Amino acid sequence: MNRSFVRVFAGLVSLLLTLSVVAKTEVSGVRAVAKADSTRLVLELNQTPTFRKFHLTSPNRLVLDLQDTSTQLPSSLFNLDDPRINNVRAARRGNGVRLVFDLADDFPSKAFTLEGPARLVVDLLGAQAVTAQPTANTDVAPAAPAAPAAPVVTPSGPPRDIIVAIDPGHGGKDPGALGRGGVREKDVVLKISQRLKAEFDRTPGFKGVLTRTGDTFIPLGKRPQIARDQNADFFVSMHADSFPKDSRVYGGGVYALSLRGATSETARWLAKRENAVDLSHGVDLGDVEADIRRVLLNMSMDSAIRISKQAGTQVIGEMKGVGRMHRRQLEQANFVVLRSPDIPSLLIELGFLSNDQDVARLTNTAEQKKIAAAIRRGIVRYFENAPPPNTQLYLDTRGTPTAPAAPAALEYKVQRGDTLSAIASRNGISLSALRQANQLSGDSIRVGQKLLIPRS
């Protein structure tokens, strides 16, 4: 190559590099306006986007792939309050982003872009979904997605127990967090997991199974597989924290999986740490991106997350009653161990092994039993509200196995600092579903008010 060519070529490369840095599209705002015959969805952008739009059915979804687009998305995207849109999810796709809108019906759509300022407009066409039967129970929002998380169970055979898989974190060559007085996370969580299993085994209609019964190392990816092999209805991974830099930090936390990213710095930090433990042992976690992409379009995953969140809210409520919590609200983080497409899952951090009081509590037999009982109560409470068909609990709470599931709603007491949209998001339901279930027209709620959280 001659020199001038090289210079031109180098110039081109740097120009392209500059362009590719500058060219990232950003979504700055999202709004939806519903009319009787259509919903207009408007994405405000810094430049006209390159996009692809398509629909998926069962359940009905609208998918928008935005190329070269930042994954920093405005929160308004996830708080759309529209009768035609039940839920919105997003994930990185290549160097862009994929937005998935769960629709209340199979609305056809038209999409076009506008300039100055740049906008992407999608019109969802068709009258909005109406309640299927006017005689149906009216305390459940009509537009919520229908698919249950539990696989369809064949109605034959005797009623079965609800199986809760309990996953004591770490083990074997991986001690987990190391705490005061030589306490190791792997030992503490195994002990409490065994007590939790005993709690479930004592509860009629439930059975506990453990992913490890001894001091053995099991890769993260294998743990949900063990649960699946046992036909688990629920998966709970047990951990303890350590924060040696500040031994005053204390308390437990309850985490559900999030595909949107972590809800707080703590959740982000934890996910990084708990995931890294396994990575450092050279376990192949596969293509995480591809994995997320695959499950993103999987309704059962979405439903599993919703169930996880609702059960998690019950568990954290019970845990608050028996001990100190570091985080008083359910958090969401992207934990590898929870990334199971079909089993609702929670990760529980029992406390900080770097804190003397927490160590005393977590190693004391009576306290361990109290903690295990609280976790069991939270999970059982969730299932009592929403028993899977063909289970003993379903029979006990619903009568006959063929009776249609009564609409289940959980009760939640409004706490200081709560907003209606935060409560909806924590429970994985839309703001409009929450409003509808409680016959609220606006957003105002008061501390102590009891809200019905529709299950689906």
* Burial (CB count <10 Å: 0-12, 13-18, 19+), residue 204: exposed
| In the complex, least distance from residue 269 CB atom to Zn ion, rounded to whole angstroms | 13
Contact between 109 and 123 under an 8 Å Cβ cutoff? The reply is: yes
- Is the Cβ of residue 236 or residue 420 nearer to Zn ion in the bound state? 236
* Mask for 182-221, x = binds Zn ion (CB under 5 A): ----------------------------------------
- Residue, CB closest to Zn ion: 239
Contact between 60 and 27 under an 8 Å Cβ cutoff? The reply is: no
The yes or no reply on residue 344 touching Zn ion (CB under 5 A) is: no
The yes or no reply on residue 169 touching Zn ion (CB under 5 A) is: yes
The yes or no reply on residue 168 touching Zn ion (CB under 5 A) is: no
Number of other CB atoms surrounding residue 21 within 10 Å: 8
Which residue is listed with tokens 């924060």?
243
Q: Which stretch binds Zn ion (CB under 5 A): 116-124, 165-173, 372-380, 419-427?
A: 165-173
Three-state DSSP state, 57: coil
- Is the Cβ of residue 238 or residue 379 nearer to Zn ion in the bound state? 238
| In the complex, least distance from residue 176 CB atom to Zn ion, rounded to whole angstroms | 4
| In the complex, least distance from residue 217 CB atom to Zn ion, rounded to whole angstroms | 13
The yes or no reply on residue 387 touching Zn ion (CB under 5 A) is: no
The yes or no reply on residue 83 touching Zn ion (CB under 5 A) is: no
The yes or no reply on residue 239 touching Zn ion (CB under 5 A) is: yes
Helices 365-385 and 185-202 meet at what angle, rounded to 10? 50
Q: Which stretch binds Zn ion (CB under 5 A): 222-230, 233-241, 303-311, 425-433?
A: 233-241
The yes or no reply on residue 176 touching Zn ion (CB under 5 A) is: yes
Which residue is listed with tokens 């796709």?
93
| In the complex, least distance from residue 274 CB atom to Zn ion, rounded to whole angstroms | 5
Structure tokens at 431: 């703001």
The residue among 293, 291, 330, 315 whose CA lies nearest residue 373 is 315
Structure tokens at 89: 């999810």
| In the complex, least distance from residue 186 CB atom to Zn ion, rounded to whole angstroms | 8
d(CA 371, CA 378): 11
N residues, the chain: 456
List residues binding Zn ion (CB under 5 A). 169, 176, 239
